[in-house]
């Protein structure tokens, strides 16, 4: 379900947040689904408890999850709260797209190939719309 790379240059916290966002976007996590307890996920992945807690906290602040002692962590929405979170999300997405396009250009991929990749990904995430 969740995979991270301890050798990646991407911080583990960011990898966790990205994995949860991917699972939500792909419909593999649905509203009402319970997430593993922080301690369990940290042990399963071999990472710090604080790293997992920080990822959960960020997703909770975005309005995607709800956590509470004795209640666990539950997915409460598949869309971030409106307002500042959307401004930050747009900036994050623009940076990610710019970095991906720069990587593609440096790798020598053609514009047609990139357009096909983008089209495939758009279809994957918005196919039900």
Q: pLDDT tens for residues 9-44?
A: 889 999 999 999 999 988 899 999 999 999 999 999
Hey, where are the domains in the chain?
A: 12-75, 84-126
Least confident of 11-20, 33-42, 71-80, 105-114: 71-80
Q: Six-digit token pair at 102?
A: 């720069």
pLDDT band with cut points at 50, 70 and 90 for residue 85:
low
Mean residue pLDDT of the chain comes to 89
Q: Report angle CA 51, 85, 12 to the nearest 5 degrees.
A: 20
pTM check: above 0.85: no
- Domain covering 12-75, topology: Arc Repressor Mutant, subunit A (1.10.10)
DSSP codes joined into one string, 37-102: PHHHHHHHHT--HHHHHHHHHHHHHTTSEEEETTTEEEE--SSPPSSHHHHHHHHHHHHHHHHHHH
- Which 8-state DSSP code applies to residue 122? H
């Amino acid at each position: 379900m969740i995979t991270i790379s301890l050798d990646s240059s991407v911080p583990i916290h960011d990898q966790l947040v990205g994995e949860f966002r991917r699972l939500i976007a792909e419909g593999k996590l649905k509203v009402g689904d319970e997430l593993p307890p922080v301690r369990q996920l940290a042990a399963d992945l071999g990472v710090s408890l604080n790293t997992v807690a920080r990822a959960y906290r960020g997703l909770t602040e975005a309005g995607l999850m709800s956590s509470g002692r004795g209640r666990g962590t539950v997915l409460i929405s598949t869309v971030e709260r409106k307002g500042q979170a959307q401004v930050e999300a747009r900036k994050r997405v623009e940076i990610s797209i710019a970095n991906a396009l720069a990587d593609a250009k440096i790798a020598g991929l053609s514009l047609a190939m990139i357009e096909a990749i983008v089209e495939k990904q758009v279809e994957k995430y918005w196919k039900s719309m």
